[in-house]
Protein backbone atom coordinates (compact mmCIF):
# COMPACT_ATOMS: atom_id res chain seq x y z
CA UNK A 1 0.00 0.00 0.00
CA UNK A 2 1.13 3.54 -0.74
CA UNK A 3 2.73 4.73 2.56
CA UNK A 4 0.96 8.11 2.38
CA UNK A 5 -2.38 6.36 1.84
CA UNK A 6 -1.62 4.21 4.88
CA UNK A 7 -0.83 7.29 7.02
CA UNK A 8 -3.99 9.03 5.83
CA UNK A 9 -6.26 6.05 6.55
CA UNK A 10 -4.64 5.51 9.94
CA UNK A 11 -5.83 8.95 11.10
CA UNK A 12 -9.46 7.92 10.53
CA UNK A 13 -8.93 4.42 11.85
CA UNK A 14 -7.66 5.97 15.11
CA UNK A 15 -10.54 8.44 15.16
CA UNK A 16 -13.04 5.62 14.68
CA UNK A 17 -11.40 3.70 17.54
CA UNK A 18 -11.61 6.72 19.82
CA UNK A 19 -15.24 7.29 18.85
CA UNK A 20 -15.93 3.67 19.79
CA UNK A 21 -14.74 4.35 23.34
CA UNK A 22 -17.23 5.40 26.01
CA UNK A 23 -16.82 8.65 27.93
CA UNK A 24 -15.51 6.76 30.99
CA UNK A 25 -13.03 4.82 28.83
CA UNK A 26 -11.77 8.08 27.32
CA UNK A 27 -11.52 9.62 30.80
CA UNK A 28 -9.44 6.68 32.06
CA UNK A 29 -7.33 6.69 28.87
CA UNK A 30 -6.53 10.41 29.32
CA UNK A 31 -5.55 9.75 32.93
CA UNK A 32 -3.32 6.86 31.82
CA UNK A 33 -1.71 9.10 29.21
CA UNK A 34 -0.89 11.77 31.80
CA UNK A 35 0.45 9.19 34.27
CA UNK A 36 2.67 7.66 31.62
CA UNK A 37 3.98 11.02 30.41
CA UNK A 38 6.92 11.05 32.83
CA UNK A 39 7.64 7.33 32.63
CA UNK A 40 10.13 5.53 30.43
CA UNK A 41 8.27 2.20 30.39
CA UNK A 42 4.69 1.57 29.30
CA UNK A 43 3.50 0.01 32.56
CA UNK A 44 1.49 1.26 35.53
CA UNK A 45 0.78 -0.12 38.95
CA UNK A 46 -2.90 -1.08 39.13
CA UNK A 47 -3.35 0.20 42.68
CA UNK A 48 -1.74 3.58 41.95
CA UNK A 49 -4.02 4.00 38.91
CA UNK A 50 -7.05 3.29 41.10
CA UNK A 51 -5.78 5.82 43.66
CA UNK A 52 -5.31 8.50 41.04
CA UNK A 53 -8.85 7.96 39.74
CA UNK A 54 -10.45 9.02 43.02
CA UNK A 55 -13.74 10.04 41.40
CA UNK A 56 -14.35 6.53 40.01
CA UNK A 57 -15.14 3.53 42.20
CA UNK A 58 -12.55 0.74 41.98
CA UNK A 59 -14.94 -1.73 40.37
CA UNK A 60 -15.71 0.77 37.61
CA UNK A 61 -11.99 1.30 36.99
CA UNK A 62 -11.59 -2.47 36.73
CA UNK A 63 -14.54 -2.70 34.33
CA UNK A 64 -13.00 -0.03 32.09
CA UNK A 65 -9.57 -1.67 32.20
CA UNK A 66 -11.11 -5.03 31.31
CA UNK A 67 -12.94 -3.40 28.38
CA UNK A 68 -9.67 -1.86 27.16
CA UNK A 69 -7.97 -5.23 27.65
CA UNK A 70 -10.66 -6.83 25.49
CA UNK A 71 -9.78 -4.35 22.74
CA UNK A 72 -6.19 -5.56 23.24
CA UNK A 73 -5.00 -2.08 24.20
CA UNK A 74 -3.48 -3.39 27.46
CA UNK A 75 -2.98 -6.44 29.61
CA UNK A 76 -3.01 -6.82 33.41
CA UNK A 77 -0.48 -9.14 35.01
CA UNK A 78 0.27 -9.47 38.73
CA UNK A 79 -1.07 -6.03 39.65
CA UNK A 80 0.65 -4.22 36.79
CA UNK A 81 -0.96 -2.84 33.69
CA UNK A 82 1.10 -3.23 30.54
CA UNK A 83 0.06 -0.98 27.69
CA UNK A 84 0.51 -1.85 24.04
CA UNK A 85 2.67 0.59 22.11
CA UNK A 86 -0.11 0.79 19.52
CA UNK A 87 -2.51 2.11 22.17
CA UNK A 88 -0.02 4.71 23.38
CA UNK A 89 1.35 5.86 20.05
CA UNK A 90 -1.70 5.56 17.86
CA UNK A 91 -4.98 5.59 19.80
CA UNK A 92 -3.88 8.01 22.52
CA UNK A 93 -1.95 10.08 20.00
CA UNK A 94 -4.94 12.30 19.19
CA UNK B 1 3.00 4.34 -16.82
CA UNK B 2 0.05 1.91 -16.55
CA UNK B 3 -0.27 2.77 -12.85
CA UNK B 4 -0.19 6.47 -13.67
CA UNK B 5 -2.99 6.09 -16.23
CA UNK B 6 -4.98 3.92 -13.83
CA UNK B 7 -4.78 6.33 -10.89
CA UNK B 8 -5.67 9.29 -13.12
CA UNK B 9 -8.67 7.48 -14.58
CA UNK B 10 -9.81 6.57 -11.05
CA UNK B 11 -9.36 10.21 -10.00
CA UNK B 12 -11.26 11.56 -13.01
CA UNK B 13 -14.16 9.12 -12.72
CA UNK B 14 -14.53 9.36 -8.93
CA UNK B 15 -14.32 13.16 -9.00
CA UNK B 16 -17.05 13.40 -11.64
CA UNK B 17 -19.24 10.75 -9.97
CA UNK B 18 -19.01 12.56 -6.62
CA UNK B 19 -19.74 15.81 -8.39
CA UNK B 20 -22.92 14.31 -9.91
CA UNK B 21 -23.93 12.84 -6.53
CA UNK B 22 -23.37 16.26 -4.97
CA UNK B 23 -25.51 17.92 -7.66
CA UNK B 24 -28.44 15.59 -7.06
CA UNK B 25 -28.25 14.90 -3.31
CA UNK B 26 -27.30 18.39 -2.13
CA UNK B 27 -29.18 20.36 -4.77
CA UNK B 28 -31.25 22.04 -2.03
CA UNK B 29 -28.05 23.59 -0.65
CA UNK B 30 -27.14 25.13 -3.99
CA UNK B 31 -27.12 28.94 -4.13
CA UNK B 32 -26.06 29.31 -7.76
CA UNK B 33 -24.87 27.08 -10.58
CA UNK B 34 -21.28 27.19 -9.32
CA UNK B 35 -21.81 27.45 -5.56
CA UNK B 36 -23.18 24.99 -3.02
CA UNK B 37 -23.16 24.89 0.80
CA UNK B 38 -21.78 21.34 0.56
CA UNK B 39 -19.27 20.37 -2.11
CA UNK B 40 -18.17 16.74 -1.69
CA UNK B 41 -15.58 16.68 -4.53
CA UNK B 42 -13.46 19.11 -2.45
CA UNK B 43 -12.84 16.27 0.01
CA UNK B 44 -11.91 13.94 -2.80
CA UNK B 45 -9.50 16.50 -4.26
CA UNK B 46 -7.78 16.87 -0.91
CA UNK B 47 -7.51 13.10 -0.50
CA UNK B 48 -6.01 12.48 -3.97
CA UNK B 49 -3.52 15.35 -3.68
CA UNK B 50 -2.46 14.34 -0.17
CA UNK B 51 -1.84 10.76 -1.17
CA UNK B 52 -0.73 10.97 -4.81
CA UNK B 53 0.32 14.63 -5.17
CA UNK B 54 1.45 15.59 -8.73
CA UNK B 55 0.65 12.15 -10.12
CA UNK B 56 -3.11 12.85 -10.16
CA UNK B 57 -3.07 16.39 -11.57
CA UNK B 58 -4.21 15.24 -15.03
CA UNK B 59 -7.11 13.21 -13.62
CA UNK B 60 -8.16 16.05 -11.35
CA UNK B 61 -7.92 18.58 -14.17
CA UNK B 62 -9.99 16.48 -16.57
CA UNK B 63 -12.55 15.66 -13.84
CA UNK B 64 -12.87 19.33 -12.94
CA UNK B 65 -13.09 20.32 -16.60
CA UNK B 66 -15.87 17.81 -17.20
CA UNK B 67 -17.69 19.15 -14.13
CA UNK B 68 -17.24 22.78 -15.26
CA UNK B 69 -18.52 22.03 -18.79
CA UNK B 70 -21.48 20.11 -17.30
CA UNK B 71 -22.31 22.95 -14.91
CA UNK B 72 -21.94 25.90 -17.23
CA UNK B 73 -23.42 24.07 -20.24
CA UNK B 74 -20.63 25.69 -22.22
CA UNK B 75 -18.29 23.93 -24.57
CA UNK B 76 -14.60 24.22 -23.83
CA UNK B 77 -13.94 27.87 -23.19
CA UNK B 78 -11.27 29.95 -21.43
CA UNK B 79 -13.73 30.24 -18.50
CA UNK B 80 -14.20 26.48 -18.02
CA UNK B 81 -10.47 25.87 -18.54
CA UNK B 82 -9.59 28.44 -15.87
CA UNK B 83 -12.14 26.95 -13.44
CA UNK B 84 -10.70 23.46 -13.96
CA UNK B 85 -7.16 24.76 -13.52
CA UNK B 86 -8.06 26.55 -10.28
CA UNK B 87 -9.86 23.48 -9.02
CA UNK B 88 -6.83 21.31 -9.76
CA UNK B 89 -4.16 23.57 -8.39
CA UNK B 90 -5.78 24.80 -5.17
CA UNK B 91 -5.27 21.59 -3.13
CA UNK B 92 -1.66 21.42 -4.29
CA UNK B 93 -1.05 25.07 -3.32
CA UNK B 94 -2.71 24.36 0.04
CA UNK B 95 -0.48 21.33 0.58
CA UNK B 96 2.75 23.26 0.00
CA UNK B 97 1.51 26.29 1.96
CA UNK B 98 0.69 24.02 4.88
CA UNK B 99 4.14 22.46 4.75
CA UNK B 100 5.82 25.87 4.74
CA UNK B 101 3.55 27.47 7.34
CA UNK B 102 3.39 24.76 9.98
CA UNK B 103 5.86 22.59 11.85
CA UNK B 104 3.49 19.67 12.45
CA UNK B 105 2.90 18.68 8.84
CA UNK B 106 5.24 17.14 6.29
CA UNK B 107 4.68 15.87 2.78
CA UNK B 108 5.46 12.25 3.68
CA UNK B 109 2.41 12.43 5.99
CA UNK B 110 4.44 10.90 8.82
CA UNK B 111 2.63 11.50 12.13
CA UNK B 112 -0.34 12.96 10.27
CA UNK B 113 -3.05 14.10 12.67
CA UNK B 114 -6.70 15.03 12.36
CA UNK B 115 -5.73 18.57 13.37
CA UNK B 116 -3.38 18.78 10.36
CA UNK B 117 -6.05 17.49 7.97
CA UNK B 118 -8.61 20.01 9.23
CA UNK B 119 -6.06 22.86 8.95
CA UNK B 120 -5.35 21.69 5.42
CA UNK B 121 -9.08 21.65 4.65
CA UNK B 122 -9.39 25.28 5.81
CA UNK B 123 -6.36 26.37 3.74
CA UNK B 124 -7.67 24.50 0.70
CA UNK B 125 -11.13 26.08 1.08
CA UNK B 126 -9.46 29.50 1.30
CA UNK B 127 -7.37 29.04 -1.86
CA UNK B 128 -10.25 27.42 -3.75
CA UNK B 129 -12.61 30.30 -2.91
CA UNK B 130 -10.04 32.96 -3.73
CA UNK B 131 -8.98 31.46 -7.06
CA UNK B 132 -12.53 30.69 -8.20
CA UNK B 133 -13.80 34.16 -7.32
CA UNK B 134 -10.90 35.83 -9.09
CA UNK B 135 -11.94 33.85 -12.16
CA UNK B 136 -15.65 34.67 -11.70
CA UNK B 137 -14.73 38.36 -11.39
CA UNK B 138 -12.37 38.23 -14.35
CA UNK B 139 -15.06 36.71 -16.56
CA UNK B 140 -17.84 38.91 -15.15
CA UNK B 141 -19.75 35.93 -13.75
CA UNK B 142 -20.36 37.33 -10.25
CA UNK B 143 -22.82 39.98 -9.28
CA UNK B 144 -20.85 42.44 -7.17
CA UNK B 145 -23.59 42.83 -4.54
CA UNK B 146 -23.53 39.04 -3.98
CA UNK B 147 -19.77 38.81 -3.97
CA UNK B 148 -19.17 38.43 -0.21
CA UNK B 149 -22.12 36.07 0.27
CA UNK B 150 -21.02 33.80 -2.58
CA UNK B 151 -17.44 33.93 -1.38
CA UNK B 152 -18.40 32.76 2.12
CA UNK B 153 -20.79 30.11 0.78
CA UNK B 154 -18.08 28.64 -1.42
CA UNK B 155 -15.56 28.66 1.44
CA UNK B 156 -17.92 26.83 3.79
CA UNK B 157 -19.18 24.60 0.96
CA UNK B 158 -15.65 23.32 0.34
CA UNK B 159 -14.98 22.99 4.06
CA UNK B 160 -18.27 21.18 4.80
CA UNK B 161 -17.70 18.96 1.75
CA UNK B 162 -14.28 17.92 3.04
CA UNK B 163 -15.55 17.37 6.60
CA UNK B 164 -18.51 15.36 5.30
CA UNK B 165 -16.18 13.07 3.31
CA UNK B 166 -13.86 12.65 6.31
CA UNK B 167 -16.89 11.85 8.48
CA UNK B 168 -17.95 9.17 6.01
CA UNK B 169 -14.47 7.64 6.15
CA UNK B 170 -14.57 7.52 9.97
CA UNK B 171 -18.05 6.02 9.86
CA UNK B 172 -16.76 3.35 7.46
CA UNK B 173 -14.00 2.40 9.90
CA UNK B 174 -16.48 2.39 12.79
CA UNK B 175 -18.68 -0.09 10.91
CA UNK B 176 -15.62 -2.27 10.26
CA UNK B 177 -14.60 -2.08 13.92
CA UNK B 178 -18.13 -2.91 15.10
CA UNK B 179 -18.17 -6.05 12.99
CA UNK B 180 -14.68 -7.02 14.20
CA UNK B 181 -14.57 -9.43 17.13
CA UNK B 182 -11.10 -9.71 18.67
CA UNK B 183 -9.89 -13.25 19.24
CA UNK B 184 -8.29 -13.86 22.57
Q: Running along chain B, 184 residues long, what does each successive block of 10 average in pLDDT?
A: 90 92 85 81 91 92 90 80 91 92 86 86 92 88 73 90 88 80 51
Q: What is the 3-state secondary structure (H, E, C) of chain B?
A: CHHHHHHHHHHHHHHHHHHHHHHHHCHHHEEECCEECCCCHHHHHHHHHHHHHHHHHHHHHHHHHHHHHHHHCCCCCHHHHHHHHHHHHHHHHHHHHHHHHCCCCCCCCCCCCHHHHHHHHHHHHHHHHHHHHHHHHHCCCCCHHHHHHHHHHHHHHHHHHHHHHHHHHHHHHHHHHHHCCCCC
Q: How many domains does chain A have?
A: 1
Within the 65-104 window of chain B, which residues sit less than 8 Å (CB to CB) from chain A? none
Q: Do B177 and A17 touch (CB under 8 A)?
A: yes
Domain spans in chain B, listed from the N-terminal domain onward: 2-179
What residues in chain A have their Cβ under 8 A from chain B's Cβ atoms?
2-5, 7-13, 15-17, 19-20, 70-72, 93-94
Domain encompassing residue A62:
3-91
Q: What are A25-51's pLDDT values in tens digits?
A: 888 888 888 888 777 788 888 888 888
Confidence of residue A5 (pLDDT cuts 50, 70, 90): confident
Q: What are A48-73's pLDDT values in tens digits?
A: 888 888 888 888 889 998 888 888 88
Instruction: Say which CATH number the domain at A44 has.
Output: 1.10.10.10
Q: What was the ipTM of the complex prediction?
A: 0.79
- pTM beyond 0.90: no
Residue B184's nearest CA partner among A75, A29, A17, A16 is: A75
- A94 within 8 A of A18, measured Cβ to Cβ: yes
| Distance, CA of A5 to CA of B2 (rounded, Å) | 19
Chain A closest-CA separation from residue B112 CA (Å): 7
Query: In B, which residues are within 8 Å of A10 by CB distance?
Result: 112
The pLDDT of residue A91 is 67
Confidence of residue A1 (pLDDT cuts 50, 70, 90): confident
The pLDDT of residue B93 is 93
Residue B81 CB partners (closer than 8 Å, separation 6+): B65
Amino acid sequence: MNPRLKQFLQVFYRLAQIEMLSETQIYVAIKIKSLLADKTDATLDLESLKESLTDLPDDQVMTVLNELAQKKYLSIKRGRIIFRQYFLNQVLHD
Amino acid sequence: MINWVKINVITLVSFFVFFLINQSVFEIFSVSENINWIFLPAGLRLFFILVYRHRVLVGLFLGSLLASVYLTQETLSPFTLCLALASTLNPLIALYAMEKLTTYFNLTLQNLTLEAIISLAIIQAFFSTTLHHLIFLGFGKTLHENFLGELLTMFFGDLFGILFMLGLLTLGFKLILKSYKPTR
